[in-house]
Amino acid sequence: MDKAQKLKELNGKLAQYEWKLGKKMKGYRGVIHESAMSEMRHQEVMVLKAMVASLKNEIEGLEKV
């Protein structure tokens, strides 16, 4: 896979995860303690944020090369 194709694929994934994160952030108020559902939502948001950051770093690294 060449660099341009890899960048296109990563940008597609980034857009998808940013959309999912935006959808999850609607109505997100943080962790309401002693609520398992709230803690699960918080974990989902944190995982999506990490995925977005990871994809951005990978894209940035490929663009520098």
CB atoms under 10 Å from CB of 48, counted, come to 19
Q: What's the confidence (pLDDT) of residue 51? A: 98
Domain count, the chain: 1
Parent domain of 30: 3-64
Overall pTM > 0.75 = yes
- Does residue 7 contact residue 62 with C-beta atoms inside 8 Å? yes
Q: In this predicted model, what pLDDT tens digit does every residue of 5-29 receive, in sequence order?
A: 999 999 999 999 999 999 999 988 8
Q: In this predicted model, what pLDDT tens digit does every residue of 31-62 receive, in sequence order?
A: 888 899 999 999 999 999 999 999 999 999 99
**Distance from C-alpha of 62 to C-alpha of 59, rounded to nearest angstrom:** 5
